[in-house]
Chains A and B, each alone.
Chain A
């Protein structure tokens, strides 16, 4: 097969180029999807807000939303083993709660896991806004890949490891790393793709390395549990040592009403000057052994693992608080914060978003480079090349169509329809798959241009459909004073549509056929020689 070497070549730089090329190809399609959906996840709560247009953020003090949530959960699941309550903040409009039921008595079937409960802080009861996964869908997909647990996370970890090795080998391959940063030659076929790959990679190299490494750290407890196993009796014990939560005490079975959580939230915020409470973990609510752990907001510092204070559920007595973390725990927590961008304000968040797009571009141009390098003018493409080209179209050009379909489905499926959240997700994957398969029926160059154009049209349709189906369209928000979130969201959709349309117009052009110059370039440029 042309261009395929079975043995590792000689010489360190050539070896590294060879590893870089093959790792990049094997993991590239999944890495592209992880980068793109992960980049979208910088705006996870904002996407969720856009996907529930009925809900308007009405700021409520945290102690009130905490008390409202507890009151509602008492009526719904008063005998649960644990409630986890996520309070609203400047970016999230709703209170979210997860109920963990007590284990059933031996012999009876296990209870089904309860779905997330979304509480409207304005009313204190479950929201009537449309059911949707919201930004959570892109976020979950970027590390679970829509596969059953734990396989998606393991596959994502494998891709992340490939990425890390590809970054290191890419840097070793590259000898003129700073010179190439200023070099982008358009319209020169393979040369241009190599330039684009180099520029997008070098420009944001610290970001790429950071986001890849910290991504692995977010799931380190899954990927590398062995160090914790040797030092702690259970994984849970390590988690508690890290977060400073006191050990679990069994329920007594004696009913004692829960003391005021508002007072606990206020007490915790008094202990954290300028800090916000973001999460409450209530264990054994209504029992004499009840405890309430208040967790500090991840955005209050670089370390995303917020400090915790635990109170007795019966009388609000302060039981324990997390000690300031040591250097190792703090490093892991800051890495988590860097990955999530939880500390970032709006400007920093947009910068992270743009850097994430650079990473997506780096993976995408790398995939295109693989085919550009192996294409020979006049010769029929070999099977592997045709396959890679088609998969490139499916991953790079068709995924945006699927993501746009997810957002469009949110507006087009009736708000009250049963199972609509699942239908939205189905729309994303059917359109992604359908557009990819349709691309197989067309010549490759046409498929690139048409698929990108279709993705552009779908993104441009989002603000239009939003304006028709809600009263929060650009026609009202563009010059209005409020609703900055909807205005920014719709404008971002138009910007993405323009970017895709630009890609489509470039993909439709014929490349400059240049056989002789390419040979010259290959001699001068050992980078990516594989």
Chain B
């Protein structure tokens, strides 16, 4: 239970932050628009991840999916760098 809850809370935040950051970096349009959209939608994404973390029975699958969803977008952002 502790593993599930901490994955939902911390892993969920990490995944949300990473996905929102990648979206802000890659979305077309101006930097300010991309940033505003990513920030605005991020809380809905976080809520969805948390609910899924409890709805999915297999704990290992929850842990693996959420942390991969955090690490992969974070890795891509690190690789392509900040918006020039």
Q: Please list the residues of chain A having a beta carbon within 8 angstroms of any beta carbon in chain B.
A: 6-8, 10, 12, 15-16, 18-19, 161, 164-165, 168-169, 213, 216-217, 220-221, 223-224, 226-232, 238, 241-242, 326-329, 331-332, 335
Contact = CB atoms under 8 A, between A and B. Distances in A.
B54 interface: yes
A161 B9 CA distance: 10
Contacts of B25: 227, 230-231
21 contacts: A8-B1, A12-B55, A213-B43, A216-B43, A220-B43, A224-B43, A226-B17, A227-B21, A228-B24, A230-B24, A230-B82, A231-B32, A231-B83, A238-B32, A241-B32, A326-B33, A326-B36, A327-B33, A328-B29, A329-B32, A331-B37
A7 B2 CA distance: 10
Contacts, number: 111
A220 B39 contact: yes
Contacts of A328: 29, 32-37, 40
Given A228-B39, A229-B82, A241-B32, 14 more contacts: A6-B1, A16-B55, A19-B54, A217-B43, A223-B43, A224-B16, A226-B17, A227-B23, A228-B35, A231-B32, A231-B34, A231-B35, A328-B35, A332-B36
A10 B57 CA distance: 8
Nearest to B83: A231
B53 to A, nearest CB: 10
Contacts of A329: 32-33, 36
Interface string B1-21: 100100000000000111011
A227 B33 contact: no
A353 B59 CA distance: 43
Contacts of A19: 51, 54
B24 A231 contact: yes
A332 B47 contact: no
A65 B50 CA distance: 50
B71 interface: no
Nearest to B57: A10
Nearest to B43: A216
Contacts of B17: 224, 226
A332 B18 CA distance: 20
A103 to B, nearest CB: 27
Contacts of B4: 8
A227 B35 contact: yes
A221 B38 CA distance: 11
Nearest to A227: B24
A241 B36 CA distance: 11
Which 6 residue pairs are nearest across A and B when measured between Cβ atoms?
A227-B24, A328-B36, A227-B38, A328-B37, A241-B32, A231-B31
Contacts of A327: 33
A328 B47 CA distance: 20
Contacts of A229: 21, 82
Given A230-B24, A231-B25, A15 B38 contact: no
B39 A168 contact: no
A168 B50 CA distance: 11
A204 to B, nearest CB: 19
Given A168-B51, A228-B35, A329-B33, A161 B43 contact: yes
Contacts of A242: 32, 36
Contact of A15 (B29, B31, B54, B77): B54
B2 to A, nearest CB: 10
A168 B42 CA distance: 15
B54 to A, nearest CB: 5
A485 B42 CA distance: 40
B44 to A, nearest CB: 8
A506 to B, nearest CB: 35
Nearest to A240: B32
